[in-house]
Amino acid sequence: MKAVRIIIIAILATVAGFNSYAQTHDHSKITSTKTETIKVSGNCEMCKARIEKAAKADGVSKAEWSVKTKTLAVTFDPAKTNIETIGKKVASAGHDNEKAKADIKVYKALPGCCQYR
Ligand SMILES: [Cu+2]
């Protein structure tokens, strides 16, 4: 019967080990990021800087706009923001995109080289 007792102790120790593992390993605290790409109107390097600056708000870890393809790739925390919000931020800086259009007043205030319409 000694062997049985040892096996039971071994099982209990394993279960206890799992429990403490679960407690120190809270899955709700792990943040996952999402990357999405949207079309954003613009012309030049100045536009690039403006678009990326506008997109980099709370929850956005990476924003990169391409002058060549006119696409903005954003990496963000879906718990903090979403692509619609990011699109609105970019539009409020003067750049039309898939999610929102820039206000005419904001657009007219852009430097001449940046006016894409
Ligand atoms: Cu520009």
pLDDT number for residue 31: 72
Q: How many angstroms is it from 47 CA to the middle of ligand 1? A: 4
Q: How many angstroms is it from 116 CA to the middle of ligand 1? A: 8
**Mean pLDDT value across residues 32-48:** 97
CB 55 within 8 A of CB 86: yes
In whole angstroms, how far apart are CA 64 and each of 53, 91, 96? 10, 16, 16
In this prediction, residue 39 has a pLDDT band, given cuts at 50, 70 and 90, of very high
Q: How many angstroms is it from 75 CA to the middle of ligand 1? A: 23
What backbone phi and psi angles, to 5 degrees, belong to 39?
A: -80, 130
Q: How many angstroms is it from 45 CA to the middle of ligand 1? A: 6
**Mean pLDDT value across residues 6-20:** 51
Q: What is the reported pTM?
A: 0.75
HSE on the CB side for 14, CA within 13 Å? Answer: 6
pLDDT for 47-84, tens place per residue? 999 999 999 999 999 999 999 999 999 999 999 999 99
What are the residue boundaries of the structural domains of the chain, listed by start?
Answer: 34-114
Q: How many angstroms is it from 10 CA to the middle of ligand 1? A: 68
DSSP, collapsed to helix, strand or coil, labels residue 79 as coil
Q: How many angstroms is it from 50 CA to the middle of ligand 1? A: 8
pLDDT number for residue 34: 97
Domain 34-114 of CATH type 3.30.450.40: no
Q: How many angstroms is it from 68 CA to the middle of ligand 1? A: 13
Given the DSSP bridges, would you call strands 60-65 and 71-76 parallel, antiparallel or unpaired?
Answer: antiparallel
Q: How many angstroms is it from 117 CA to the middle of ligand 1? A: 12
Residue 40 per-residue DSSP state: B
